[in-house]
Amino acid sequence: MPPTPIVDPATVDLSQVVADREAIRRVNPQRYEMEQLTAIVLMDGEQHLVAGYKDVGADEFWVRGHMPDYPLLPGVLICEAAAQLCSYYIVTTGLLQGDFIGFGGLENVRFRSPVRPGDRLLLIGKGTRMNRRQTIFNVQGFVGTTMVFHGDVIGVPLHRQGDEPAQEA
């Protein structure tokens, strides 16, 4: 049984783009094949809510080999898209204490339905632990109103090599 939706996906206005791909690039460091978000459509700092989507294209690098004749968006890329959504929120709300946010882990992840080329994967995240050392977001993914994914994404601040903060004694 899937969990209760964080937000009813039917109520998310996908035409109200808060950040397009170029705006996301100004915040998230992923490029080329690893860019997994098309747009951010909701930011609510009071409730720690963020929503965005990925338009799944037929020309993506994984389509040819991830289940020939029945291409499925790999679960690891769904998780990556969820992490990028959370990272965007963390950086733009000023919670970042580092150069960028890295994956700290995943918990309670379940895939409930396939995501295929031509689908729009709507991701909705709610921050459940918000501090400068670690963030945890409960994230759900939908195609239409069908929940296809849910889990908890843990984010941790990372520092570029050689830029590590001084350790306290």
In this predicted model, what pLDDT tens digit does every residue of 77-102 receive, in sequence order?
Answer: 999 999 999 999 999 998 877 888 88
The fold for domain 9-158 equals Thiol Ester Dehydrase; Chain A (3.10.129)
Phi, psi (degrees; rounded to nearest 5) at 80: -65, -40
R_g of the chain computed on alpha carbons = 16
Residue where the block lists tokens 């009071």: 46
pLDDT of residue 97: 79
Decide if pLDDT at 125 tops 50: yes
Q: What is the pLDDT of residues 20-42, one digit of tens each?
A: 999 999 999 999 999 999 999 99
Asked about 66 being catalytic, the answer comes back as yes
- Residue of 48, 66, 150, 159 marked active site: 66
Instruction: Calculate the average pLDDT of the chain.
Output: 93
b or e along 6-26 (b: 16 or more beta carbons within 10 Å of the residue's beta carbon)? Answer: bbebeebeeeeebbeeeebee
Q: Are 14 and 53 in contact (CB under 8 A)?
A: yes
What residue ranges do the domains of the chain occupy? Answer: 9-158
